[in-house]
Amino acid sequence: MFYNDCVRQSELFSKTRREAPKDEESVNAKLLTRGGFVYKNSAGVYSFLPLGWRVLKKIADIIRGEMDAIGGQEMLMAALHDKRYLTATGRWDVGVVYKVFAGNEDEPSFNISWTHEEVIAEIAASYVNSYQDLPLAAYQIQTKFRHEPRAKSGLLRGREFLMKDLYSFHVSENDLNKYYQKVAKAYHKIFKRCGLKSIYTLAAGGEFTVSNTHEFQILADVGEDTICVCEKCEYAENKEISKLKTGDKCPKCGGAVMEKRAIEVGNIFPLGTKYSEAFNLRFTDERGEKKYVVMGSYGIGLGRTMGTAVEVFHDGRGIVWPENIAPFKAHLISINRKQKTEDRGQKIYDKLQKAGVEVLYDDREGVSAGEKFNDADLIGIPYRLVISDKTKNEIEVKRRDSDEMRTMNLEKILKLL
């Protein structure tokens, strides 16, 4: 999938840790740190190590596939934004922005990548002239910087995080609404492909828009949101705006409403013409009339999605990655240090590599079997392949999410993977 899909564990940049950092309480922070996926530079500021970056890239790739499928065009916008962008919409003093002194020693005159509605509205204004140019949708995957008063829960709330943001441009509210539904479907697909079940939740717009918006929530106890969700039809409202409470009847189907904790991994906003008005983003319609473009914006937090997956998929031993976002497909483990086993491991590693299987090869010398098994459980790669004297000429296969072990030859394994 990437340029290098086969890695020797003896050469891996990171190592596993026996102990979790003492202060971390959230499962995702503990396991991702112990497994060597991420490194915390500051509270809410993480570096992604090779293992973690592979996961993130897989999530990014799934997102790209679904965004492209609904006509989104990937681009990359500037991260440094002149003050005029946010002052144009009254958001310069909102207070969650990192301001910088770029080019001005006396006062901040820029801010760094908080969100891009203003930036893309201005860009669009210079290319959109006619109704024939619309609709249009563009997205990017870029780091966002938010002044978080309280970063928390590992990857779930950071000051710096990778986000996919999609912006769409339409001739009418009606056209926006149609696209909005399309994006909602694409979002459900994205999270499903990441192994997660997303709940479409009615919510407020915050600093982005006055209209109601929708969040994609994943049920999890560490979640900081509470949603009122129908057990039957899954209609859901964020408790912030909901008049529903546990025990109420669902307004859609009459089922029972429950209040549950959830993590917001994505959201979609109908923006109307707020940003087009601020940046004079207009088009000429069929009758020659000038009108403001109707916009929508749609976000997904990549790191947060990764953290959420860990919160949802783990056991007492470590992470149990959903197959589509696992850093590798297979974890090949060679147990005996005897030359015969070494040679065999190398051969199998080569063959897996040729067959295009993403594999992490635990070729470490002098590391006991128990330690290798524990590391494999912690890292959470879907298929564990073990070779040792005991397996003779075959390979023992075990899925991370099951205790069943089977021994088979390489051909069968290649079919299985």
Q: Which is nearer to RNA, 207 or 234 (CB)?
A: 207
Q: Which is nearer to RNA, 20 or 258 (CB)?
A: 20
Q: In the 8-state DSSP scheme, what is residue 209?
A: -
Q: In the 8-state DSSP scheme, what is residue 240?
A: T
Least spacing, CB of residue 368 vs RNA, in Å: 3
C-alpha pair distances (Å), 53 with each of 14, 37, 62? 12, 7, 14
Rounded to 5 degrees, what are φ and ψ at 116?
-125, 20
Q: Which is nearer to RNA, 55 or 128 (CB)?
A: 55
Instruction: List Cβ neighbours of 220 (8 Å cut-off, separation of 6 or more).
Output: 261, 262, 263, 308, 311, 312
Least spacing, CB of residue 68 vs RNA, in Å: 22
Q: Which is nearer to RNA, 134 or 379 (CB)?
A: 379
Least spacing, CB of residue 238 vs RNA, in Å: 10
C-alpha pair distances (Å), 290 with each of 117, 145, 282, 283? 21, 36, 6, 6
Tokens 């909602």 correspond to 184
Least spacing, CB of residue 142 vs RNA, in Å: 13
Q: Which is nearer to RNA, 118 or 264 (CB)?
A: 264
Q: Which is nearer to RNA, 5 or 207 (CB)?
A: 207
Cβ atoms of 62 and 193 within 8 Å: the answer is yes
Cβ atoms of 19 and 35 within 8 Å: the answer is no
Rounded to 5 degrees, what are φ and ψ at 392?
50, -120
Least spacing, CB of residue 269 vs RNA, in Å: 8
Least spacing, CB of residue 242 vs RNA, in Å: 14
Least spacing, CB of residue 156 vs RNA, in Å: 7
Q: Which is nearer to RNA, 152 or 182 (CB)?
A: 152
Q: Where are the beta strands (DSSP E) in 273-412?
A: 282-284, 290-292, 294-301, 314-315, 318-319, 330-334, 359-362, 383-387, 395-399, 405-408
Cβ atoms of 212 and 204 within 8 Å: the answer is yes
